[in-house]
Amino acid sequence: MSHITVCARFRPSSSKEKQNGNDSVCIQCIDAETFSFKDEKDEEFVFSFDRVFYEKSEQAEVYKFLALPIVRDAVDAINGTVITFGQTGAGKTYSMEGPGILECDEQKKGLLPRVVEGIFDSLSPSDESMAYSVKLSMVEIYMEKVRDLFDLSKDNIQIKESKSRGILLPGVTEITVLDPAQALQTLSRGIANRAVGETRILL
């Protein structure tokens, strides 16, 4: 089995797109893995992924298919990553965070709050000889530099690689979190520190 899962997700047309008549849809569902795309010359192309999430897909489905296996592996010390890629307005933030990571709308909440809960649920120690600690770091690559979103004075963190520990960010802030609420509060602080973000307010 591949260690990489690649999915496509389509978001519903926004009310603005509907208002402007920009909401004609050029893709058609074939099945849960395949869709067809018609370009402006009416030429048809067929694409397949591990899973295609169409516009009615639920956040919970995306979590279950894409992130839950990574959460399970993480608890067994296997590294995992979720990457979103797409043009502006495609739905990356919605998929990752939902309407906001502190918002607890059960249906709409995104991958981040679900992953946080999933990790803490999986850590509930059934075996008392086991001890876990959960630490968060958060960085942003901005203007070719790695900035620490938990300590903005660290604005040029180096990326190193070690044979035994893999990719490292020496000196990056690590915050120990004890429960999901504390983890989400901490992540929300990091998100607010991003230089590029839809909710950045300059005073």
Ligand X SMILES: Nc1ncnc2c1ncn2[C@@H]1O[C@H](COP(=O)(O)OP(=O)(O)OP(=O)(O)O)[C@@H](O)[C@H]1O
- Which one of residues 51, 72, 92, 189 is an interface residue with ligand X (CB under 6 A)? 92
- Which one of residues 60, 90, 102, 172 is an interface residue with ligand X (CB under 6 A)? 90
Burial class (CB in 10 A: 0-12, 13-18, 19+), 62: buried
Q: Binding of ligand X at residue 100 (CB under 6 A)?
A: no
Give dist(CA 58, CA 54) in Å, integer.
9
Is residue 50 within 8 A of residue 7, CB to CB? The reply is yes
Secondary structure letter of residue 66 according to DSSP = I
- CA dihedral sign of residues 139, 142, 146, 151: negative
Angle, helix 111-123 to helix 180-192, in steps of 10 degrees: 150
Q: How far is the CB of 135 from ligand X (least distance, A)?
A: 26
Q: Which residue, 11 or 154, has its beta carbon nearer to ligand X?
A: 11
- Which one of residues 91, 100, 146, 186 is an interface residue with ligand X (CB under 6 A)? 91
Backbone angles phi and psi of 147, in degrees to 5: -105, 140
Q: How far is the CB of 187 from ligand X (least distance, A)?
A: 16
Is residue 92 within 8 A of residue 139, CB to CB? The reply is no
Confirm whether residue 92 is marked as ligand binding: yes
Give dist(CA 191, CA 93) in Å, integer.
11
Confirm whether residue 88 is marked as ligand binding: yes
Which regions of the chain does DSSP assign to beta strands (E)?
7-9, 27-29, 34-38, 44-48, 51-53, 134-136, 139-142, 145-148, 160-162, 166-168, 175-177
Q: How far is the CB of 56 from ligand X (least distance, A)?
A: 9
Confirm whether residue 74 is marked as ligand binding: no
Q: Binding of ligand X at residue 12 (CB under 6 A)?
A: yes
Q: Draw the binding track, 25-64, toward ligand X (x: CB under 6 A; -: no contact).
A: ----------------------------------------
Q: Binding of ligand X at residue 82 (CB under 6 A)?
A: no
Confirm whether residue 90 is marked as ligand binding: yes
Q: How far is the CB of 72 from ligand X (least distance, A)?
A: 24
- Which one of residues 14, 22, 28, 185 is an interface residue with ligand X (CB under 6 A)? 14
Q: Binding of ligand X at residue 93 (CB under 6 A)?
A: yes
Q: Which residues bind ligand X (CB under 6 A)?
A: 11-12, 14, 86, 88-94, 198
- Give the residue ranges of the annotated binding site for ATP: 86-93
